[in-house]
Structure 1
Amino acid sequence: MRVAYNEQMNALSKILGEMAGLAGSAMERATQSLLQADLSLAESVITEYDQIAALSHQAEERAFALLALQAPVAGDLRSVVSGIQIVADVDRMGALALHVAKIARRRHPNHALPEEVNGYFAEMGRIAVALGAAAQEVLISRDPERALRLREEDEAMDDLHRHLFTVLMDRNWSHGVAAAVDVTLLGRFYERFADHAVEVGRRVVFLVTGTLPSDEDHEIDLAHGR
């Protein structure tokens, strides 16, 4: 029974790592499609989201099967429950990349972004991809110290997101309401992608140590707006 449990948990961890890798790749291509008005890249992100969704379903099935068939307790139960929660976060990361690609597709052949904010989104995309790769890394390594550092790396994303609003509120903004709405939504998508990556890190810390980092330390609020 123990061998079977370990094998199933390893398979679940592998799926979660693969999902995180796909989500990071999707955000990288979604960002390129946004900055370059590249329809083919946007379409590839939209089409390939089905792969993330399928893996998410597969991971949930494995996790619930472990609960039903293995009846885990203590640390084993913590691992399974954490796995279920991580599935939701990583799936959401993929969905947020999908939202970025859909805006790029909707505005094609025009650019969705005014040129003056391209630099913001190029950097936000870089940070998001790096956080996606870090989430994949900690899912594989289960290193709690590395997992905790994701929050520090997310601070740059939060700064960029705040600065975007100063651009939007500037009286010299001349790109109209539709562009302002797109920029607001896109900024939120990148910020949420990063937040979910950080939450993966928090769950890994809980999985390994049994202690969930406090909201005072990490200031993550996933209850408002997915």
Structure 2
Amino acid sequence: MTARRLPRARKAAAAAVGAAAALVLAACGTGGGEPTRHTGHDSAPSASPSASASVARSGHNAADVAFAQGMIPHHRQAVDMADMAEGRAAAKEVKDLAAAIKKAQDPEIRTLTGWLTSWGEQVPAEGAADHSGHSGHGDAMSGMMTDQEMEQLEKSSGKAFDTAFLTLMIKHHQGAVTMAKTEQTQGSHPPARAMAGEIIASQSAEIAEMRELLGTD
């Protein structure tokens, strides 16, 4: 794989993220919205068959909960993959991309966790479930890596790592985009839908960049 600078893809990603960030601010500033962390938000008492009434009062629905509960382990795994790149990647572009992924997704994990906590919903536990054990999100649609794929990536280095990282992260990003599109069409919480739009824009741009690095665009 030949390392190349990709100013066009980077510029597109930056523009997309900036536009989506404006959507988040707009959503949080509208009537009935709340700050991203939602520390003062009235929470639903529990997840129960009567949750629909609580959902109506708190401005979110079951799709918003599923989005947050699915995206948290998804992002955690992407961060784990990005952490590997610092000491294993050969190309500077791959290291820079991994750093950008971690910088974007760490804060989103905290925001998603804050939403679930404010809604009285379960926050996915950390650990092995973040990989193949996350039932319902460890399939091809979500793009989650299996434990075996993560172990193979961890054992690789240099150009072999770069190729494996880019190939797996494309699949991972595609899953995130699919999940985010579902949130946009089915969710009701404005900040969550705005975050979904940001994920679609930024990760689609990164998919194009990774394909260019692999020479498969």
Q: Same fold (TM over 0.5)?
A: no
Larger radius of gyration: 1
For CA contacts below 8 A with separation 6 or more, give which structure has more relative contact order.
2
**TM-score under structure 1 normalisation?**
0.34
Q: Given the two structures, how large is their TM-score scaled by the length of structure 2?
A: 0.35
Structure with more helix by fraction: 1
